[in-house]
Amino acid sequence: MLLQRQDKLKEAAAIYQLTHKGFEKTFRPNDLQTLQTVIELGDIYQRLALLRDSETVLRRATEDPGNELGPNQKDTTHGEHALTLVHQSRGLFREVETRTKRMIESNLKSLTADHATTLHTIRFLGMFYSRRGWLFKAEIMLKSSLGDYERVFGPDHPQTILTVFWLGCAKLDLMQPKEEEMLFLRALKSKENDPGTPGFLEFGEIYYQLGRTYFSQCLWKDAASNFERALRAFEKELGADSISVCHTAYQLGRAFNCQHLWKEAESALERALRGYEKEMGPGHTWTLYSLVMLGTIYREQNWIEQAEAMYERAVSSFQTHFGPSHPGTRGHRRSGHGDTPSCCQRGRIMTFR
C-alpha cells in the first residue's frame, strides 16, 4: 500500500501478485484475505490502464457467490467502485450507470441515506452524468447531493465544497452563468479560508472553471486573468509539463485572441501545442485543435502563409488519424479558414475538466 501511495504502481502490482499466490496456497481462493488482495490488485490494474485484467479480477472478487465478502462489506464497495471506473474507461457507460445505481440501492439498505459511502456514491453518479454531458440528470443529482452534504457535514466541509464545484461544472455546461459563477466563487472562498486541506480540490481547478465561466460571458479580461492564475497554480501543483497546464495555456490563448493580444495568444498556444505534442502525440485531437487555433490567430493578423501552413498540417493529420469524413478534416479543407468559433459565440471548440 505504501508503493500505491507513492504511485509506484508496477512495483505494487508485483507485490500483490506474489501475495495473492501465497494466500491462495495458504488459505483458499475465496478466503477473505485472498479476495481483499485481489481487489487491491484490480484497482492497481485499473490505474495502469490494464482494463481487461482489472475487470477480470474485480468481477471475480465482487460477483462470485462463493466468496467470503459480504455484498455490503467495505472491501466489496471498494471493488465495485474500481470496477465502475474500469467500465467508464472502456466506454461502457450504461454499465457504469446500472452498477452505480445498484451500489446506491445496496448502500441505502445496508447503511443509511446519510452514511458517507452512500453520499459519495450518489455524488459519483452525478459527476459521471456531468462528464458524459447528461447535464439535466447531473444537475438534479448534484443539487440533491449538495443538500445532503450540507445537512450531514456542514456548508464548509471539503466534501461539501467538492460537490459545490461539480454542480458548478454542470451548470456551466447548461449555460447558467450567474449560478455557476456563484458556485465557483463559493468554492474559491472556502479554499482560500482553508488552503491546507489536501486531496479534495485545488486552486488550479477552481480558477480554470472560473476562467471558462467568464469566457462564456464574453468577459475576456476576467477569463484571461483566471486562466493565468490557474496556469500558475497547476505549474506549482502538477509541474510545468502536465496536461492541465496544456489545457489552461490553450484556453488562455483563446482569451488573449478575443482581446486581439496576438503575441500573448501566440505564445500561450505554442506552449499548449508543444505540450500536447510531447504528452499526447502529433495526431491527438488536442494537438490538432491547437494547430487550428494558431492558424486562426495568424489569419486574423493577415499572415496568410503561416495560417495556411497550420491549417494544412491540421487537415493532413485529421485525415491520417480520423479519415476524410471527420469534422476536423471537412471543416478546414474548404478554404483553409476552418470552423473555429468567433469570440462572441458561447460554443467551445474544446472543453476540459
d(CA 341, CA 65): 54
The answer to whether domain 1-64+71-92 and domain 224-353 are alike in fold is yes
Range 123-134 average pLDDT: 87
C-alpha cell at 95: 454499465
**% of the chain beyond a pLDDT of 70:** 63
Annotation: CATH topology of 224-353:
1.25.40
At 7 the pLDDT is: 42
- Comparing 158-172, 233-247, 249-263, the range with the smallest average pLDDT is 233-247
Q: What pLDDT is attached to residue 258?
A: 93
Distance CA 2, CA 6 (A): 6
Domain ranges of the chain: 1-64+71-92, 224-353
Q: Output the DSSP codes for 278-326.
A: HHT-TTSHHHHHHHHHHHHHHHHTT-HHHHHHHHHHHHHHHHHHH-TTS
Reported CATH class of domain 1-64+71-92: mainly alpha
| Per-residue pLDDT tens digits for 270-279 | 999 999 888 8
More confident residue, 73 or 13: 13
Distance of alpha carbon 89 from the chain centroid: 11
pTM for the predicted model, two decimal places: 0.71
